[in-house]
């Protein structure tokens, strides 16, 4: 960290600040310029709040962090090696990571009933997904909107898992529900609105359950990595970052703005795996395929795609859901692109992928 | 609500959509134009999600909400009369509302120790505050930053309340802590980061404890009122809205951007009382006085001001805290302005306000 | 400026960078820390682009500007004294500045016809304005919208000036029109969309005509001051800054977000006078009075208020225009507030202000 | 357009509004609901300003545009066929369009001297570019930063064109310079800061010169298309849209936020060709390759890449420039991807692309 003192700061004050810093086990190094004195801080400053230092003296003009405030999330923490998040699923372990195949997560916004979730699970599995997503607890801006079926939906996710062997990803919104959610979920999701729900971050951090951490609507990349740091610092190394669109000044044609440049930026900052959710980002199913392609080209490790057997009847987020046919079609298009980028040695679906009609009939066997 | 059908929509489809809507107890009224058909929806549409309607047909171009989605928070719900939130405190009931005196809330970002919080409470009371703010649980972007003293800090707030008779406002971050917090707090605060923590909103809504609902960093006014609606719909009418600055593209000279036009906008939309927090909004104590003045001139019902006996030693948010002397000075300046606007019949502090020096000596007795 | 070198930078490279900097007449001062080397730059760095330095070496991690990039606009440039912009008008000189009375600018969005502009000029003068605003050239987002009457409107502004003695403020959009506009205008306005039209800034900078520089929709405070710097550096010291609302994520209930905290922030950074335009900022006349009050309380030096004799028939921006009666009423309310803050020794309007009805009759004489 | 009247609007007022609208050659169609009356407007409403209608009556609650305000830029205007912008260059005509090969534009931020611009032109041509970009007039936020070499730089661009046969793209900032710029440029660029410089848009619209219209820093998609509409409505159909990153709340790790979802969104709204500029968007050369890949995958028709023979010595924007070697490397990587997406039948560079070393030697012949 660097402290810039105001011009004309009395040298006694500079000495006093330096003294104070030494008492924090930090070594201050003074650099006297023509107009300003600058103090470089040497030592473990990652855990210090810059505002805390700012408070030391009214003569401090600026405190600048040179080292990043995140530590366990930083690339350096793992000697610049990407981390791997291995998730055991009934179909076998699935690994999220830069040097691993692209992982596909698909499913509806919310779990509506047994038939619907099992049908969707079967469909997305046949088309190449490794995980089923589906909300039991739904954060909705209106108290009058469908809030998810809660605990009973968790049971249905369990049935879909059993029927297909897919891993389950579902959101937890309340510390009080974590145990119930973790009993069913293979990956626990922290939603965008809870990215800075620090109680929840600490609590999932105290388990070893893999965590999908969605970026907050207006969270900076640094805040997002600091949210991951909460989980990592609590002892859980299994964090996957998911970009799902940020809030900007233009919301007329897309629900959010997909910030795809996070892929190379995160690669340069952190070892954690990166997932992209083009469905929430754009809010419209027609824009999902091109953004899914772009995400793969940008280097994402995983995609989360909203799929619903009948979007027109979906209890939530229908406009951004692909149909099962649409998802199968998308996977057929993504397969050669994934291969092109070396992320899939072979197509993620069974070589003789049945056309959708037959998937349905398979599903009904 | 209004449904705009795409040009060329088959009339059978328009009929199908209308039929579906009738099954929801809504009366559709068709309006046939040259290029488009528009369907007006008559009935109780406040509880319907526009996206839900969008899902009904691929021929729907747009669904436009004409009535606001909030109902209990709307001005109409109280026949355009402002609501009053009456908070019992040891010094007597304090009322937040448009036709009541301006209420001053002051205190430190976080409770540090007994002496500090009691001294601050005494100081802000003498200077005219009715409430002491102070964090026991602190949302911090870094896991390595001071997280608040938690339960023990709640005890200290209780002592400050006892010592001064001030009402207590403190934040709850986790549903699991609500009971403990509500035992001490006269007003429970939902922080900006938890504005859409719907579990928490429902839980405070299930009590009758007054709730201070801070606006989320990038929450629209509508989302903010919908968050209030969660609390109101759960049965708790005692909600105070607090603007504390929003996130914009410019963060170089202020921490957030104070959106002061919410005052007249909220007045036209809702009956709920409005508080302004210029300390968090600007992030620098030197900007607090002019923004506090502006807030009163804009018509705010209450101010929340950060005050710390020694900002340079504050464990959090020192740069935005006034000293006790600074706060006393500010109150002396605000008093005639509050009177000018008819919000204070007499100064909020004892007529013979002791100069600060004497406050300290009083405090040390 | 401060250069932070990446950890592990070879010392030869650090030497090379230092050598290069010396060739720019800057003295580099090296500060060696445990992890990083930091180079402080001493000398006249205000005119150096940080990105230019960044280019010097791939080992440079960050270049941090410690001194502000603006120089003539900075408070230090005038020894921390506020500047005064004196504008000669037929009614006598009017001074914009922190230690001068509040200046009121009022008038319609665009000049529509002679009767309308002269009637408005008479009305706003009687109510206390010193300047008439009115657009001859209008920036409109649609090519199909009314673009202003151009040159003929300039003539009408001249007539209104003659009839009332008010100073004229009108916008220039094109370097080719500057001469014509400056022949009529007492203050030339650079609109928000042209804040970074650097050709235009240089050209108005080459005159001594007072310039009203509106803040761009998404301009940072630093960019705004750098735009002022363009004018100042070209030799024209007569710059007035005008905040008119910025663009944020929420545009549902206001057209823009009025960033009122610019008042104290600009005070701490620059000597230039500050105007607030609550009409464009909020976009709705009903919100103008409370924001005008707030602007005065925040410490603004001038207000720009949109006034139209018949907003319902306005060719542009009707919803944000006050009627002449509304403006007279507002001025009656602002007068005691201006007095309260010491910005008006006496009401800005004639002591025996005729009620509006009589103004009209006066106007028709 | 749809007008929503406030509840309780007197029917005489509704009649008056309808009457007024009829005088504008619009047919109002009334739709009476339980709470509100809605008036649908039939006729040519594209050229009407919603705010103009809002002005008609204080009983109007909302005016909603159903048809888009842009007309010539809309897909419907060309019967949903993509338009082609054919640009004659010395090497032959190059076509920008959805059904044409990807067009590569490359070159430095600004033209520095003859050797540099000719060397760059030769290098980028050998690597596969069809156009050379290079600024003669540079919009810089500081008046003290390098402003471009102006007219003499235009001459150097002419030499580079002659030497390589590449088309030239360069920016015009002032209506007064258009003639000079158009004499050299094959495509005239309107920069982000001038996207709403309506005088300039009209003036380039009055020529038939192809125009590259960059999106403004905080321009909505609708505003951007309306800016294109200015050019189209002035008679020039040759418009190419270029996304170069938008301004958001997070500017720590990238200069702007690349909004790549504009590709599918624009495809659904307009017939105009789409270019992506990953260099300005991210601000760092290391992020350019992955964003260039993503742009192709998203479906862009053209890429603009900043290339400089020696970024460390660049007079502007060095950090975001690729070296000539870097650009050649990038083109080698893009070639198979362009082929994958059917945008290049064969590699854009000569089959026997010389390695960079040899390019240099060629250049020196």
| Separation of alpha carbons B357 and B351, rounded Å | 16
What percent of chain D clears pLDDT 90, i.e. is strictly above it?
71
Q: Do C223 and D141 touch (CB under 8 A)?
A: yes
For residue B68, pLDDT beyond 80: yes
pLDDT, residue D39, reads 85
Q: For residue B294, which residues of chain C lie inside 8 Å, CB to CB? A: 260, 263, 294-295, 297-298
pLDDT, residue D5, reads 86
| Separation of alpha carbons D110 and D119, rounded Å | 14
Q: How confident is the model at residue C351 (pLDDT cuts 50, 70, 90)?
A: low
pLDDT, residue B283, reads 94
Q: How confident is the model at residue A318 (pLDDT cuts 50, 70, 90)?
A: confident
For residue A363, pLDDT beyond 70: no
Q: With a threshold of 0.85, tell me whether the complex ipTM lies above it.
A: yes
pLDDT, residue A351, reads 54
Q: Do A258 and D253 touch (CB under 8 A)?
A: no
Q: Do C57 and D147 touch (CB under 8 A)?
A: no
Q: What is the DSSP string of B23-38?
A: TTT-EEEEEE-SS-EE
Mean predicted confidence (pLDDT) in B316-336 = 93
b/e burial code for range D339-364 (CB count within 10 A of at least 16 → b): ebbebbeebbbeeebeebeebbeebe
Mean pLDDT of the residues in chain C: 91
Specify the range with the lowest mean pLDDT, choosing from A21-35, A288-302, B152-166: A21-35
Q: How confident is the model at residue D35 (pLDDT cuts 50, 70, 90)?
A: low
Q: Do B264 and C287 touch (CB under 8 A)?
A: yes
Q: Which residue of C has its CA nearest to D53?
A: C312
Mean predicted confidence (pLDDT) in C84-93 = 98
- CA A184 to chain CA mean position, Å: 19
Number of B–D residue contacts, CB under 8 Å = 59
pLDDT, residue B34, reads 62
Is the distance from CB of B86 to CB of B95 less than 8 angstroms? Answer: yes
Tens digits of residue pLDDT in C1-22:
888 888 788 889 899 999 888 8
**When comparing pLDDT for B351 and A344, which is higher?**
A344
Query: Which H helix or E strand runs over A356?
Result: helix A356-364
Q: For residue D217, which residues of chain C lie inside 8 Å, CB to CB? A: 218
Q: Do A297 and D293 touch (CB under 8 A)?
A: yes
For residue A48, pLDDT beyond 80: no
Q: Compare CB distances from B31 to D29, D64, D249 and report the shortest one's residue.
A: D29
| Separation of alpha carbons A300 and A242, rounded Å | 10
Q: How confident is the model at residue C363 (pLDDT cuts 50, 70, 90)?
A: very low
Looking at chain D, which residues constitute the CATH 3.20.20.70 domain(s)?
A: 85-364
Q: Compare CB distances from A2 to C2, C247, C248 and report the shortest one's residue.
A: C2
Write down the CATH superfamily of domain A85-364: Aldolase class I (3.20.20.70)
Mean predicted confidence (pLDDT) in A233-245 = 97
What is residue B215's DSSP assignment?
P
For residue D362, pLDDT beyond 50: no
Q: Do D29 and B32 touch (CB under 8 A)?
A: yes
For residue D352, pLDDT beyond 70: no
pLDDT, residue C355, reads 47
| Separation of alpha carbons A316 and B51, rounded Å | 7
| Ramachandran region, residue D150 (left: φ > 0; alpha: ψ -120 to 50; beta: rest) | left
State how far residue A258 is from chain D, nearest Cα, in angstroms.
7
Sign of CA dihedral A309, A313, A317, A318: positive
| Separation of alpha carbons D38 and A355, rounded Å | 47
pLDDT, residue D33, reads 65
Mean predicted confidence (pLDDT) in D86-96 = 98
Q: What value, to the nearest 5°, has the Cα angle with vertex D207 and ends D202 and D208?
A: 125
Q: Compare CB distances from B246 to C248, C254, C282 and report the shortest one's residue.
A: C248
b/e burial code for range B6-18 (CB count within 10 A of at least 16 → b): eeebeeebbeebb
Q: How confident is the model at residue D65 (pLDDT cuts 50, 70, 90)?
A: confident
Tens digits of residue pLDDT in D329-347:
999 999 999 999 999 999 8
Sign of CA dihedral D313, D317, D320, D323: negative
Q: Residue holding tokens 């998911």?
A: A242
Q: For residue C257, which residues of chain B lie inside 8 Å, CB to CB? A: 246, 248, 257, 259, 261
For residue D188, pLDDT beyond 90: yes
Choosing among 3.30.70.1140, 3.90.1150.200, 1.10.150.120, 1.10.357.10, the CATH entry for C2-65 is 3.30.70.1140
Q: What is the DSSP string of A228-282?
A: HHHHHHTT---EEEEE--B--S--SSSSSB-BTTHHHHHHHHB-S-EEE-HHHHH
What is residue A199's DSSP assignment?
H
Looking at chain D, which residues constitute the CATH 3.30.70.1140 domain(s)?
A: 2-65
Q: For residue D246, which residues of chain A lie inside 8 Å, CB to CB? A: 248-250, 257
Structure tokens at C49: 């682009």
Mean pLDDT of the residues in chain D: 91
Q: Do D261 and A291 touch (CB under 8 A)?
A: yes
For residue A217, pLDDT beyond 50: yes
Q: Which residue of D has its CA nearest to A256?
A: D261
pLDDT, residue B35, reads 66
Q: Compare CB distances from D174 to C177, C199, C217 and report the shortest one's residue.
A: C199
| Separation of alpha carbons D229 and D70, rounded Å | 6
Tens digits of residue pLDDT in D262-317:
999 999 999 999 999 999 999 999 999 999 999 999 999 999 999 999 987 777 77
Tens digits of residue pLDDT in C273-328:
999 999 999 999 999 999 999 999 999 999 999 999 998 777 777 789 999 999 99
For residue B58, pLDDT beyond 60: yes
pLDDT, residue B116, reads 96
b/e burial code for range A150-179 (CB count within 10 A of at least 16 → b): beebbebbeebbebbebbbbbbbbbbebbe
Q: Do A259 and D261 touch (CB under 8 A)?
A: no
Question: Which residues of B fall below an 8 Å CB-CB distance to D?
Answer: 2, 4, 27, 29, 31-36, 38, 40-43, 61-62, 64, 66-67, 218, 247-249, 251
Q: For residue A29, which residues of chain C lie inside 8 Å, CB to CB? A: 31-33
Q: How confident is the model at residue A359 (pLDDT cuts 50, 70, 90)?
A: very low
Q: For residue D258, which residues of chain A lie inside 8 Å, CB to CB? A: 259-261
Q: Which residue of D has its CA nearest to C48?
A: D145
Tens digits of residue pLDDT in C208-221:
999 999 999 999 99
- CA D251 to chain CA mean position, Å: 22
Mean predicted confidence (pLDDT) in B317-344 = 94
Q: How confident is the model at residue B354 (pLDDT cuts 50, 70, 90)?
A: very low
pLDDT, residue B341, reads 97
What percent of chain A clears pLDDT 90, i.e. is strictly above it?
71
pLDDT, residue A43, reads 74
Q: How confident is the model at residue B351 (pLDDT cuts 50, 70, 90)?
A: low
Q: For residue B54, which residues of chain A lie inside 8 Å, CB to CB? A: 318-319
Specify the range with the lowest mean pLDDT, choosing from A177-186, B64-73, D196-205: B64-73
pLDDT, residue D308, reads 95
What percent of chain C clears pLDDT 90, i.e. is strictly above it?
71
Chains touching chain A, criterion 3+ CB pairs below 8 Å: B, C, D
Chains touching chain C, criterion 3+ CB pairs below 8 Å: A, B, D
Q: How confident is the model at residue D29 (pLDDT cuts 50, 70, 90)?
A: confident
| Ramachandran region, residue B90 (left: φ > 0; alpha: ψ -120 to 50; beta: rest) | alpha
Q: How confident is the model at residue D355 (pLDDT cuts 50, 70, 90)?
A: very low
**When comparing pLDDT for C55 and B334, which is higher?**
B334
Tens digits of residue pLDDT in A154-173:
999 999 999 999 999 999 99
């Amino acid at each position: 960290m660097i402290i810039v003192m105001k011009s004309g700061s009395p040298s006694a004050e500079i000495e006093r600040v330096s003294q104070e810093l030494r008492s924090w086990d930090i070594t201050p190094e003074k650099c006297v310029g023509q107009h300003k004195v600058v103090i470089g801080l040497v030592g473990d400053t990652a855990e210090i709040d810059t505002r805390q230092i700012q408070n030391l003296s009214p003569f401090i003009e600026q405190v600048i962090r040179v080292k990043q405030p995140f530590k366990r999330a930083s690339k350096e923490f793992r000697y610049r090696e990407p981390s791997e998040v291995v998730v055991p699923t009934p179909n076998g372990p699935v690994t999220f990571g830069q040097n691993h195949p692209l992982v596909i997560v698909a499913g509806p916004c919310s779990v509506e009933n047994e038939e619907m979730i099992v049908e969707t699970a079967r469909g997305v599995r046949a088309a190449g997904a490794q995980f089923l997503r589906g909300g039991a607890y739904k954060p909705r801006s209106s108290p009058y909107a469908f809030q998810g079926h809660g605990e009973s939906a968790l049971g249905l996710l369990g049935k879909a898992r059993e029927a297909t062997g897919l891993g389950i990803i579902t959101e937890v919104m309340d510390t009080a529900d974590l145990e119930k959610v973790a009993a069913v979920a293979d990956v626990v999701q922290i939603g965008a609105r809870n990215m800075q729900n620090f109680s929840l971050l600490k609590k999932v951090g105290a388990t070893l359950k893999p965590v999908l951490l969605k970026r907050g609507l207006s969270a900076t990349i640094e805040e997002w990595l600091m949210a991951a740091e909460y989980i990592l610092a609590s002892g859980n190394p299994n964090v996957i970052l998911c970009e799902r669109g940020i809030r900007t000044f233009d919301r007329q044609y897309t629900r959010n703005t997909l910030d795809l440049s996070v892929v190379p930026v995160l690669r340069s900052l952190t070892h954690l795996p990166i997932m992209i959710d083009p469905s929430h980002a754009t809010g419209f199913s027609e824009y999902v395929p091109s953004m899914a392609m772009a995400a793969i080209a940008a280097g994402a490790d995983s995609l989360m795609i909203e799929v619903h057997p009948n979007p027109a009847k979906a209890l939530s987020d229908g406009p951004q859901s692909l149909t099962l046919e649409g998802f199968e079609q998308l996977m057929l298009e993504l397969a050669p692109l994934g291969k092109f980028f070396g992320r899939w040695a072979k197509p993620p679906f069974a070589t003789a992928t049945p056309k959708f009609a037959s998937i349905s009939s398979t599903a009904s066997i």
